[in-house]
Each structure stands twice: as C-alpha cells, then as structure tokens.
C-alpha cells in the first residue's frame, strides 16, 4: 500500500491564508463570516461559515487533495444533492 502524501504544516497554513485572503478580498458573499479548512491526511475540507439569524451555519464547499507537490492539487466540489 502506497502512503498518501501529507502536506507540511507550512503549506497548510499557506493554503488557509490564501483562501481567507480571496474570500474576504472579493466580499461577494456578505454573510460570509469565515472559511474553515479542516485537514485529514492529504485532504483539506473547505467549509463556509455564514451568519443567519444570529446563528453560525456551516456550508460544505469543496475538498482539496495534496498530491505531493506544492503546485499539484486535486479538487472536488461538494454537491448538496448527493448529501444524505
């Protein structure tokens, strides 16, 4: 079994900073409070946190996959129609 590459902490922090920068630079989603990135192995799961009626609501956005190179990533959109 081949081990999946895990991004180093430096790269995870860089990804988090880049996502936050773009999310708040564009401000095309006014209710957006934060974009949270959770890491599990080689995968990063991006979730939008929006304020709705005084409550924080988490909306899954996508999954990124580290492929062993800082510039090589896999990407998959979250499709709410497939959630059970």
Residue 4 lies in a domain: no
Residue 29 lies in a domain: yes
Residue 15 lies in a domain: yes
The domain in which residue 72 lies consists of: 9-79
Residue 84 lies in a domain: no
Q: What is the pTM of this model?
A: 0.87
For CA atoms 18, 24, 25, 28, the dihedral sign is positive
Residue 67 lies in a domain: yes
Residue 3 lies in a domain: no
Residue 57 lies in a domain: yes
- Overall number of domains in the chain: 1
Residue 2 lies in a domain: no
Per-residue pLDDT tens listing for the chain (84 residues): 788 899 999 999 999 999 999 988 887 888 899 999 999 999 999 999 999 898 999 999 999 999 999 999 999 999 987 665
DSSP the chain: -PPPP---HHHHHHHHHHHHHHHHHH---TTEEEEEEEEETTEEEEEEEEEETTEEEEEEEEEEEEEEETTEEEEEE--GGG--
């Amino acid at each position: 079994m081949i081990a999946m590459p895990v991004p180093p902490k430096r790269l995870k922090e860089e990804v988090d900073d880049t996502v936050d920068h773009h999310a708040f630079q564009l401000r095309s989603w006014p209710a957006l409070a934060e974009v949270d990135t959770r890491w599990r192995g080689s995968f990063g799961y991006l979730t939008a946190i929006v304020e709705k009626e005084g409550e924080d609501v988490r909306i899954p956005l996508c999954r990124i996959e580290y492929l062993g190179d800082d510039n090589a990533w896999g990407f998959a959109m979250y499709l709410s129609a497939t959630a059970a």
